[in-house]
Amino acid sequence: MDKPPSNPSTGLRILIVDDDRRMASTLADILELQPYETAQAHSGNEALEKINESRFDCVLSDIKMAGMNGVELFQAIRETQPGLPVVLMTAYATDELIHQGLQSGAIGVLNKPIDIHQLLGFLACVRQEHIVTIVDDDPAFCITLSDILERRGFRVAKITNAETEVAKMLQNSQIMLLDMKLNSRTGYDILKEIRRSHPELPVLLVTGYRNEMASAIEQALEFGTYTCLYKPLVVSELLETLAQIRSERMKQLLKLKNF
């Protein structure tokens, strides 16, 4: 078993978008005390330029801005970087733009003045949402998939020994990729153990035996797995699924009411 990933650094790269320069500067000063690395943009077009030039982990954008508004900015970001979390900010509790943003898939809306404790708690969890555990007894598959995910910002724990205690498999894990056919155990057996202590952990089944494992896959899906992916993996499908899980969990973290 590989060692679990070390604790992440505290830094995230956050883009703050607000045509109120004082607001953007104040929020940046607060976040950089944590420390988070921030950049500022004061229009939608400037934000898109910065996003194209550099990597960000999260975007905080005001909704009402001159020219391109926050919802239009989010929709433009989604075209090129669909996995980039965007949180909208507004001083207006009821607004049609809020509905549009949430319906389009924005992570959530924060009301101004911003609840800094809520925001910091959310960002701390964003930082932790990158840990993926791969449980597969094929070392070459683990290494290849780990390299792909790490290049896209995930941290990966690789477990190739199916006899590893489930508690160790779960250590630090936010998402698990679980092979259905291991040397000495089935993925379904491991899944049942996982569900006793971690009923909400997103588990993605992986198998190269679509027909042979059909019955076990059906049972596992009924037991609360997120989906089943088939080898050879389609990387774009995997990344889209991981982005969807991450987005759903971050929305829960904000605990925002439905507008």
Residue-level pLDDT at 38: 96
Please name every residue paired with 108 in a beta bridge, in sequence order, or none if there are none: 87
Q: Is the pLDDT of residue 201 over 80?
A: yes
Query: How high is the pLDDT of residue 256?
Result: 47
Residue 256 in domain: no
Of the candidates 127, 154, 187, which is a domain's last residue? 127
DSSP label of 258 = P
Residue with structure tokens 């669909």? 82
Which tokens in the block code for residue 124? 């701390």
Domain boundary among 77, 108, 127: 127
- Classify residue 148: in a domain, yes or no: yes
Q: 72 and 100: one domain?
A: yes
> For residue 45, what is the domain's CATH number?
3.40.50.2300
User: Which residue intervals of the chain are DSSP H helices?
Assistant: 21-32, 44-53, 70-80, 96-104, 116-128, 139-151, 166-170, 187-197, 214-222, 235-254
135, 121: one domain: no
List, in sequence order, the alpha helices (H) in 154-204.
166-170, 187-197
Expressed as residue numbers, the domain containing 39 is 13-127
* Average pLDDT of the chain, as a whole number: 86
**Residues 137-193: tens digit of each pLDDT:** 999 999 999 999 988 778 899 999 988 999 989 988 889 999 999 988 889 999 999
Q: What is the pTM of this model?
A: 0.68
237-258 mean pLDDT: 76
197 CB contacts (<8 Å, ≥6 apart)? 166, 167, 170
Query: What is the count of structural domains for the chain?
Result: 2
Pairing of the two strands 86-90 and 58-62:
parallel
In a domain? residue 251: no
